[in-house]
Structure 1
């Protein structure tokens, strides 16, 4: 679905992350602005920018939200899914399933610092102690769907490179 025009490739990206906390809202806003700056020939759908369904002082029922966001996701060439948090956001997990089933490539962004030190023998040994896991867990089914359709990166610079590489392929 990539559309070529004079000056480069134009692609549509669906950006999925939680959007209810101020921290998530601002992170999404900042990261998407950075992506738009670094990759100018891209159209990024950020659900929080769709006031018709995501102005939480207003009203949109579950059907309206599901229809609007699913239509945007199904029209995308690529999905970015932020995987950070105590668990993957429920909405993001659902959107990953829709993207996978629709054969839309997915780039997961997972910045959790607990993944550092994967070769540290003390951290590895601590896995044998009950309740001493030093690593964060992500649902393997959900991450498997991402890996079957794309990749998981660990920082914003890798994300930008992955999106650029996708646009060139």
Structure 2
């Protein structure tokens, strides 16, 4: 079994949590069968001519030969690199276990069905969800004086320990040949799937209209308006995997989680991808070229479009 640990890796506590999970899993299946990004790509010390692209290549190579993925996702702001990796695994029929300690649930309408994650796509493609939403029980100190902060920290540690142990147990309990959730790769059609940014608009927007004006058949997201958001999300995944092109608006503080997931699914399915981002911001890291999005999203795309005028030429390439 080869397992990929997908996790947010830009802060020490996130990397430490993922390392704890990887170590527990390695104790069960062997360290050589566990891949931990940043650690196993030697990201801090890696030297390459184009470092970000090299990191993408190393991660994608491992994504292409997996037996399972465990993804750590917390809170309403989901890491776009992790979501891209989830989409790649799901479209490759690799089982994905998602681990969360988020105590909130989400709905697309005030009275709608409650979901584990802000975008229904995450829930739709997850093979299993391990969610431990409550703190561990209060600890009783044998001494009369105990810092309430240390006690609170201990309860959080119990919560994460419980979640990580449950994730390992869930992975080991997966059938050796899990049933395919997304089915075999569908036949490629000629439509363009247009994913608008939730920071601008959902549904038929100016990007979809530009594709229609150019003579293309367009598919747009169903999951935010469907009576059953999870069914709508699976329909969106199927539409992207069978598309000729994916035009994704990646605007926002991060690529929206569902959009990032669809980019990963499109990459795994051989779909041509363009990222639309009229207002560009860059991230910088030691030894790495400036990146205009998470490097997993940036290098998954074939084109970066910064204006509406750039859409028609891309459609003819």
TM-score normalised per structure 2: 0.39
Aligned residues: 138
Unaligned runs of 5+ residues in structure 1 are 1-10, 116-126, 129-134
1:159 corresponds to 2:136: no
Aligned-partner Cα distance in 1 for 2:94–2:41: 25
- Confirm or deny: 8 A CA contact 2:117 2:123 kept in the other structure: no
> What residue number does 2:44 align with?
55
1:140 corresponds to 2:110: no
Higher helix share: 1
Aligned-partner Cα distance in 1 for 2:57–2:4: 14
> What residue number does 1:96 align with?
86
- The verdict on how the C-alpha distance between 1:85 and 1:114 changes in structure 2, with shifts beyond 3 A counting, is closer
> What residue number does 2:135 align with?
none
- Confirm or deny: 8 A CA contact 2:73 2:79 kept in the other structure: yes
Aligned-partner Cα distance in 2 for 1:44–1:143: 24
Question: RMSD of the TM alignment (CA)?
Answer: 2.6
Aligned-partner Cα distance in 2 for 1:151–1:45: 20
Unaligned runs of 5+ residues in structure 2 are 132-162, 178-317
> What residue number does 2:104 align with?
114
In terms of Rg, which structure is larger? Answer: 2
Deviation at 1:94, TM superposition (A): 0.4
Which of the numbers 3, 6, 9 marks the counterpart of 1:19? 9
